[in-house]
Amino acid sequence: DPNEDTEWNDILRKFGILPPKDEPKDETEEMVLRLQKEAEVKPYERMTLKELKEAEDDFDEADRKAVEMYRQQRLQEWKCLQKRQKYGELREISGEQYVKEVTNAPEDVWVIIHLYRSSIPMCLLVNENLSQLARKFPEVKFVKAIVNSCIQNYHDRCLPTILVYKSGEIKGRFVGVAECGGMHLKVEELEWKLAEVGAIKSDLEENPKKDIRNAMTLSMQNISARENISTKSSDVLKPHIT
C-alpha cells in the first residue's frame, strides 16, 4: 500500500519512487478559507455604472458576462430610483403651463393639481397637506396653480379644487371645502381620498374619517329617534276631535 506509513515507503519516497505523502488537511483552516473566498467582493460590485464602462476591458472573459449582468441590474435599479424620485415636491405652475405639465404629462404618471386662491384658508391647508404627500409619494406629480391663471371668474365657493389626471384625462375631482375634507382636514384623510381614485398607493388600512362618520351617523340616528319619541308623546297628549 503506497499510502501506508512504513519505513520502506519512506525510503521509496526519499528516492522519488513514490510520490510525497499527502499531509492531512486542517478542516477548520479549509472552512475558513472557503468562507473568506465566498465573502470576497468582486471589484465590479463596488463600481458605479460609469466606472464599469471605463474598466470593462480590464476584466477577463470569465468575468465579462458576470459584469454585464451586474451592470444591467444596476441600470434597472437606477432607472427605478430615478422614476421614484422624479418629483417629490408640490410645484407651482401657471395657467400657460397647464397643458404641458398636466394634460400632456407622461401616460404612466398620475398628476394631482390644486387650483387655489391664497386668500382662502382652506386652500392653504390643502397646499400644506399636498406638500407632505408629495414628499411621501415622489413618483406622483403634485402641482398647484392660482385659479385665476387657469380659469377666469371661478367662484370662491368651488375652492379649493383638486383635480386628478392620468393620461390626459380627469380621473377624480374634489370641488369645494366639503368635498376636499372640511376645515379640519388631516393629511391622512386627503391621502385616503387620493388613494380611492387610484392616484397613490397608500399604506392606510381604513378611512381615517370612518370613526368620525360613524359617530356622526349614530348621533343623527339618536336625534331622529328622540324626535320620533317626542312626536309620539305629543300625539298621545293631543285631544281627539270627533
Selection from 35, 183, 233, 200 nearest residue 132 by Cα: 200
The letter for the amino acid at 224 is: S
pLDDT for residue 146: 97
The letter for the amino acid at 212 is: I
Q: What are the cell numbers at 213?
A: 362618520
The answer to whether residues 106 and 141 touch, using CB atoms and an 8 Å cutoff, is: no
pLDDT in tens, 159-215: 999 999 999 999 999 999 999 999 999 999 999 999 999 999 999 989 987 655 554
Q: Is the pLDDT of residue 55 over 80?
A: no
Q: What are the cell numbers at 179?
A: 368635498
DSSP state of 159: -
Asked: is 91-197 a CATH 3.40.50.150 domain? The reply is no
C-alpha 159/C-alpha 114 separation (Å) is 9
- Global pTM exceeds 0.95: no
Mean pLDDT value across residues 129-157:
95
Q: SS3 of 116, please? A: strand
Mean pLDDT value across residues 98-119:
95
User: Which residue ranges make up each domain of the chain?
Assistant: 91-197
pLDDT for residue 238: 42
